[in-house]
Structure 1
Amino acid sequence: MHELTGFQRDLLYVIAAADQPSGQDVKSEIEGYYSADINHGRLYPNLDTLVNRGLVEKGQLDRRTNYYDITGEGEQLIRERREWESQYVDT
């Protein structure tokens, strides 16, 4: 997880919590969390990075819409991160 930016980590969490969200679904959720507009030039390259690292799979819902799904490796990375965080934060 240390190789990801905070933004990429947040995208991974959003994807993990949803059932095959579209890019627009991810964008809406992350904009709500950041309380700011996220442009496509920031969102999609970061999603592609997660796909290229094998943490997220990208599929096609229709000719215009892709979906994203967390992989087993992505889930494992989140588990490891949460274990590390729990050393420092009471939950």
Structure 2
Amino acid sequence: MYDLTGFQRDLLYVIAGLDEPHGLAIKDELEEYYEKEIHHGRLYPNLDTLVEKGLVEKGQRDRRTNFYTLTRRGRRELKARKEWEANYVDVEYDGVHV
């Protein structure tokens, strides 16, 4: 996970939070978060990189639509990242630790 960009880590979080999302669903989530347009030329090459690294699996829903899921390795990497973050981030927001 150390060699991923922040954008690639965000892709993993979005994929983990949705049920077999297709590219446009991922794009919509990230555009809402970043509050700006995410171009296809940025999205799909980064998804392909995550597939090549074995963190994400790409499936085909139909001839035009692919979907994405985390691999076992991808889930392990996210879990390890969250544990690492917990060592450094202890923020309270409205009485809730995040």
TM-score by length of 2: 0.91
Residues 51-66 of structure 1 mapped to structure 2, 5 A cutoff: 51-66=51-66
Unaligned 5+ segments in structure 1 are none
**Count of residues in Structure 1 that have an aligned counterpart in Structure 2:** 91
Q: What are the within-5 Å matches in structure 2 for residues 12-91 of structure 1? A: 12-90=12-90, 91=98
Structure richer in helix, relative to its length: 1
Tell which has more relative contact order, 1 or 2 (C-alpha 8 A, sep 6+): 1
* TM superposition score normalised by structure 1: 0.98
The secondary structure found in structure 1 opposite 2:2 is: coil
Task: Name the structure 1 match of 2:4.
Answer: 4
Q: CA deviation at 1:21?
A: 0.1
Q: CA offsets per residue over residues 22-73 of structure 1, 9 Å max, x none?
A: 0000000011000000000000000000000000000101111000001110
Larger Rg: 2
Distance 2:61 2:80 in 1: 31
Alpha-carbon distance in structure 2 between the residues aligned to 1:84 and 1:17:
19
Gap regions ≥5 residues in structure 2: 91-97
Cα RMSD after superposing both structures? 0.6
Determine what percentage of the aligned residue pairs are the same residue: 63
| Matched residue, 2:94 | none
